[in-house]
Structure 1
Amino acid sequence: MKKISPVFYISITLSILFILWGAFAPENLEKVSSTLQNFLQVKFGWFYLITASALLLFAIFLAFSKYGNVKLGKDDDEPEYSTFSWFSMLFSAGMGIGLVFWSIAEPISHFNIPPFSEGNSPEAAETALRYSFFHWGLHPWGIYAVIALALAFFKFRKDAPGTISAIFYPLLGDHINGPIGRTIDTIAVFATVFGVATSLGLGAIQINGGLHFLNENISNGFLTQLIIIIAVTILFMISVISGIGRGIKWLSNINIILAILLMVFFLFMGPTTFLLNLFTTSLGNYIEYLPRMSFRLSPFNNENGDWIQGWTIFYWAWWIAWSPFVGTFIARVSKGRTIREFVFGVLAVPTLFGALWFSIFGGTGIHIEMFGEGGIWEAMNFGENTEIALFATLEHLPLSTIATIISIVLIGSFFITSADSATFVIGMQTTNGMLNPPLRVKIIWGLVQAAAAAVLLWSGGLAALQTASIVSAFPFTFILILIMISLHKGLKNEEIKTTRKKKVF
């Protein structure tokens, strides 16, 4: 345990105190966290929007700049993983459970309660898909890309430790090894624990909803969700033991295959032509409205403003909370790729896949509501039980039982890879950036994440999960802004050194 840094002990203490708070005073935790959430959403919504857009623009700038040919590693390093495995791992870590959970729930929610238009109308349907693309498209991957680029550049090209604080060497120098560096890493770990706990909670809720859909004798409540968390925790511990090259890689490949199979099932069992037309139209709308959506807060309409705070601001905070985890993991599997290749891969492919995903799943649900039997919104209890949306939609398709089982397996597999990847990443951040953290460290963090997810569900269900993301993301937002500055400075120093070498030669 000599490699363990003080960040481990600080972070584990804070996490355990939070878990004990939720276990013994859940109502107080829910009240305090909700108050913080409302304050941050109302007062700093503009800050989240501007930061997310700035990060995306900075990533695009790097891809097209003179730094695009810089390799994330030494000049002779080659990619460690195949392109398919690379996409599979970054996609499983970057979206995972949430993509399945919200695939139909979000478009149906926007269709019935849209901003800027009347519900249950063609305009509402277009808005629903456009904002689903927006929330899961370029902006989240832009956030991930910047932090992953910074980590990979300093780790593999500059031989720095694989910690968030190491990125700040151009700005802070040796101070990264003192209290300032430990504070940065502790904030990153704390944001990761509760960002991932949010997704684990979502996974437990949706698996419970699917099992209840298959068998009404299985109760839909906290006790069943706790059993699911315990069962999946055991499974991802097995994956942790097998390591990144086997467990995470294999499961990520399986995830992508299952996800594509389920998507193909929806495409050909549903209104195929309608879905393809909807994808084309919605993609064009997304591109057309992207600048406006990126900075829209609706200060003159409280109802629309509340909608943006409840959806867009929540998502931006969620992605920021996830960014130290996803960024570290993507950096770990991206050695040997150039900055240009990395940015195009991380931004373009997942965004297009996500757009197709929401068009097919969400489009099927909207088609049933507009032209079919309807009933999905009612089954969701008018937005209260979003975990039911996927399974309520499957009722209207052939072979629904088989598809439901595949969906539950996919959610469980995403659950395992998200938790597995997160334990690996938090292990790196609390062992001075070790590329292969000690097994006991990963197991400890796996148990902490599972406990955090259980406590959040106990203290307030889905609302508590969303609150945890927003609160934990706020301090890390400032760190992301400084990461852009430090990475740019590091790249400028790299350019100066390269120029001097050429002159000497």
Structure 2
Amino acid sequence: MRSRTQPARRALPAPPRRGRAARPERRAQGFARPQWIRTPPEATARNGSITHRENGRAAVALRGTIHKRTNRCRRYNTAATLLSSRKETGAIAERRRPDVVLTDTSKDDETAGSNSALDPEKPEKLVDKPGRTDWTVFGVAAVLATAFILWGLIGTESLQSFAETALEHLVRDGGWVFIIASTGFVLFGVWLAFSRFGRIPLGNDGERPEFRTTSWIAMMFAAGMGIGLMFYGVAEPLQHFTEAPPGSASVPGSEEALGTAMATSLFHWTLHPWAIYAVVGLALAYSSYRRGRRQLLSSAFIPLFGKRAAEGAAGKVIDILAVFATVFGTAASLGIGATQIAAGLTQVGWVEAISNTTLVLIITVLICAFILSAVSGVSKGIQWLSNSNMVLALLLAVFVFVAGPTVFILDIIPNSVGSYLSDFGSMISRTGSTGGDGAEEWLSTWTIFYWAWWISWAPFVGMFIARISRGRTVRQFIGGVLLVPSVISLIWFSILGGTALYEQRSGADLAGAAGEEEQLFGMFDQLPLAGIASVLAMLLIINFFVTSADSASVVVGSLSQQGSARPAKWIVIFWGVVIGGVAISMLLAGGDEALQGLNNTTIIAASPFVIVVIMLCMSLVKDLHSDPIMQVERKSAEVLEQAVIYGTEEHDGAFQLDVSPTEDTPDSESENASADDESGSSDEQSPSAR
């Protein structure tokens, strides 16, 4: 590095080391071996060079770039300056070797004048424009989904037999993968939040969040609600209260069973599912908004596979699996919603009995309503339905809370949290080998089904929470995604599930008198204004059905068109029809037990995608390690270490470490020199850091 006031300076070999001659040279990634350069006394501090002074000042210069909110690169120069002690006598100072500047240089420094390791590639500006159809992803996924629909309609018995056999082998031989992976995602998310990666922003440095915190929490609330909470908010606590989970010591119907039922329900609906969503959403948000890549799941695998592979065959396989998982996960929700709508129609007397024909008719009518809205372009109507879902859900919860056992509901909230924490260890380790007879069947019906369902929903929900979280830090993202929906689930299950448990204990046999899809309406019968509450619940389920089909079709269309935020209308309609057809085939695959068909096919369809999410965690960690903030932190630590070693060896440990900019003017240099002279007037000065 040359000073502008000196035409040429000759690089000298490194002086003899003192004390640690055998210590190897430190090399930072992207730098050549540190060069020792003699700096004349009259040199000034410009462009990263450090002025030599008679009082014994030496420096280590670090150069690089940072990204500002304007998305422009600005140069900065930082100097870690060593101040030698002033206790040397004049004779010793005269004999002492002239001060030197330790400068890390590289080929990029010589050509571009900057440190490439600290000059990360500028993120590309994402443009919201219609994308081109990826015919490989779209074609393969469409053919597979269409083949499944035809299989369900033509060879129903064959599909049913295949699903039962495949599920048996999968749960017996691979159920442990779902059990370990789901808990691993929770631990992984918590580790990221509390690690040094937690301060990395999901956007440019200094970029503010796109949405205010209150709006962001409200949208998290919307993501936390859905058909599943309407169906299982009553059915699951009742099931675990009357039939204890495998390995549980609680007696069905007892006070202990009450806590077990609520703890098991919260286990399936709080941290574990949202940890899965957080991992996928964080990878998508970081890849898109921090790195400037396309909004595709395959783009998040560039650090692991490389850009060519991630945009080639391997990436297309990942996107196809994401499309397939989203289609089946959403179809399972639509199938569950159809069974509960049919139960509501039966409750109010509009339908005599629930049959497969009734379910197919309900799905067909609602999908036609979705197609009509998509063709007519009434996007504001869909948005109004989405917003009204939150209002209807809040009204329903307030009604049950006020009309139901209010005090019991308030009492069950802390009891549920305590039971969840005390039973957490046994719940995360429950497998087919430790749960006794019937454990595998119970796991396939509940825990493994849930984990598969959440994993299949991960691309859908992950993309949504990624799009609303730009500008948040990794720590804020994980904290919000894990805590906000978990609190919502706790309140919802405490109100609806607590009311159902209270009525069950009071003598109303809700669990034995009706199927799972009818238990919500059976609970309403125990409250005043049961008819109004039932109609309100059906409207809410229908709204969730239509908005889920609409949102999922947009997400799948985006994955089919290279991550476009505005996929073509025809491709959205196509995937909406396919999701409805898959839901019908999944219901038919269960025979007389439609819900069992949903469970079986969901687990089978999601099993390959669990491997994708595990690999996504590995890719995310590798991506975070190479983040510009992490690079600057590592390089700064290396330079600081070199500065301390140099000061210890050259000044026998009596030195002062100072960090200051190197773009000083001669006036400021003289002021600094005066300040140094004043501070060095004392004969004894202890080492310190400023």
| TM-score normalized by the length of structure 1 | 0.94
Partner of 1:435: 565
Aligned residues: 500
Give the CA deviation at 1:334: 2.1
- Tell me how far apart the structure 1 counterparts of residues 479 and 372 of structure 2 sit (CA, whole Å): 34
Give the CA deviation at 1:175: 0.5
- List 4+ stretches of structure 1 deviating above 6 A: 241-245, 500-505
Letter of the 2:138 counterpart: F
Partner of 2:498: 363
Give the CA deviation at 1:231: 2.5
Paired residues of 1:85 and 1:253 also in contact (CA < 8 A): no
Letter of the 2:205 counterpart: D
**Percent of paired sites with the same residue:** 41
Please give the secondary structure, in 2, of the residue aligned with 1:436: coil
Paired residues of 1:92 and 1:418 also in contact (CA < 8 A): no
Deviations 1:251-284 (A, max 9, x none): 3332222112111111111111111101111112
Paired residues of 1:237 and 1:443 also in contact (CA < 8 A): yes
Partner of 2:345: 211
Deviations 1:480-504 (A, max 9, x none): 1111110011011003444489899
Please give the secondary structure, in 2, of the residue aligned with 1:140: helix
Change (3 A) 1:65 1:2: closer
Partner of 1:4: 133
Give the CA deviation at 1:310: 2.5
Give the CA deviation at 1:472: 1.0
Please give the secondary structure, in 2, of the residue aligned with 1:434: coil
Partner of 1:58: 188
- Tell me how far apart the structure 2 counterparts of residues 352 and 63 of structure 1 sit (CA, whole Å): 18
Q: 1:351 aligns with which of 458, 477, 486?
A: 486
Q: 1:391 aligns with which of 499, 521, 531?
A: 521
- Tell me how far apart the structure 1 counterparts of residues 190 and 382 of structure 2 sit (CA, whole Å): 29
Give the CA deviation at 1:81: 4.1
Letter of the 2:156 counterpart: P
Paired residues of 1:89 and 1:248 also in contact (CA < 8 A): no
1:100 aligned onto 2:233: no
Partner of 2:361: 227
Partner of 2:468: 333
Give the CA deviation at 1:38: 1.5
Change (3 A) 1:447 1:221: same
Paired residues of 2:152 and 2:159 also in contact (CA < 8 A): yes
Letter of the 2:610 counterpart: T
- Tell me how far apart the structure 2 counterparts of residues 41 and 103 of structure 1 sit (CA, whole Å): 25
Give the CA deviation at 1:333: 2.5
Give the CA deviation at 1:2: 7.0
Give the CA deviation at 1:53: 0.7
Between the two structures, name the one with larger relative contact order (CA 8 Å, sep ≥ 6): 1
Partner of 1:290: 424
Partner of 1:415: 545
Greater mean alpha carbon deviation, residues 235-244 or residues 16-25? 235-244
Partner of 2:200: 70
Structure 2 residues without counterparts, runs of 5 or longer: 1-129, 640-660, 663-690
Partner of 2:412: 278
- Tell me how far apart the structure 1 counterparts of residues 486 and 419 of structure 2 sit (CA, whole Å): 14
- Tell me how far apart the structure 1 counterparts of residues 559 and 511 of structure 2 sit (CA, whole Å): 42
Partner of 1:307: 442
Letter of the 1:279 counterpart: I
Partner of 1:135: 268
Paired residues of 1:197 and 1:450 also in contact (CA < 8 A): yes
Letter of the 1:314 counterpart: F
What value does the CA root-mean-square deviation take over the aligned residues?
2.3
Please give the secondary structure, in 2, of the residue aligned with 1:302: coil
| TM-score normalized by the length of structure 2 | 0.69
Paired residues of 2:199 and 2:474 also in contact (CA < 8 A): yes
Paired residues of 2:283 and 2:616 also in contact (CA < 8 A): yes
Partner of 2:535: 405
Partner of 2:121: none
Partner of 2:335: 201
1:265 aligned onto 2:265: no
Please give the secondary structure, in 2, of the residue aligned with 1:235: helix
Partner of 1:112: 242
- Tell me how far apart the structure 2 counterparts of residues 126 and 2 of structure 1 sit (CA, whole Å): 51
Please give the secondary structure, in 1, of the residue aligned with 2:526: coil
In the TM superposition, 1:434-473 aligns within 5 A as 434-460=564-590, 461-473=594-606
Greater mean alpha carbon deviation, residues 211-220 or residues 248-257? 248-257
More helix by share: 1
Give the CA deviation at 1:245: 8.3
Letter of the 1:22 counterpart: G
Letter of the 1:201 counterpart: G
Greater mean alpha carbon deviation, residues 130-139 or residues 154-163? 154-163
- Tell me how far apart the structure 1 counterparts of residues 511 and 576 of structure 2 sit (CA, whole Å): 35
Please give the secondary structure, in 2, of the residue aligned with 1:73: coil
Letter of the 1:483 counterpart: L
Greater mean alpha carbon deviation, residues 217-226 or residues 262-271? 217-226
Partner of 2:323: 189
- Tell me how far apart the structure 2 counterparts of residues 440 and 75 of structure 1 sit (CA, whole Å): 38
Give the CA deviation at 1:304: 4.0
- Tell me how far apart the structure 1 counterparts of residues 270 and 131 of structure 2 sit (CA, whole Å): 41
Letter of the 1:312 counterpart: T
Change (3 A) 1:204 1:87: farther
Please give the secondary structure, in 2, of the residue aligned with 1:335: coil
- Tell me how far apart the structure 1 counterparts of residues 424 and 373 of structure 2 sit (CA, whole Å): 39
Give the CA deviation at 1:84: 5.1
Paired residues of 1:184 and 1:479 also in contact (CA < 8 A): yes
Partner of 2:30: none
